[in-house]
Amino acid sequence: MLLDIPAQIWDNGNMTYEELLKDIDDQEFAYDTLATSIRAVVELHKAYESMQGTACLECSEDDYACPYPCPTIQAIEKELQ
């Protein structure tokens, strides 16, 4: 069962899902299309609670829960700093 995770600070100190979306919305992008595209990627890589802990919805498979933040979210966070 997939559950939405409430806003929280992840143990590794990264932004929460909601904080990352807000940060994207607050950026002054040269093109609105770019911001919309990045936001769509972040929305696909949403965190959920799995039996193995917090995982990425998009990167996880049937028998594997990819830890959140996944490499995609980490890369976006890095570039926004």
Q: Does pTM surpass 0.85?
A: no
% of the chain at pLDDT higher than 90: 42
Write the DSSP assignment of 36-60 as a string of letters: HHHHHHHHHT-EEEETTEEEETTT-
First to last CA, the chain: 33
Domain ranges of the chain: 17-80
Tens digit of pLDDT for each residue in 64-80? Answer: 999 999 999 999 999 88
Kindly state the DSSP code that residue 30 receives in the 8-state scheme.
S
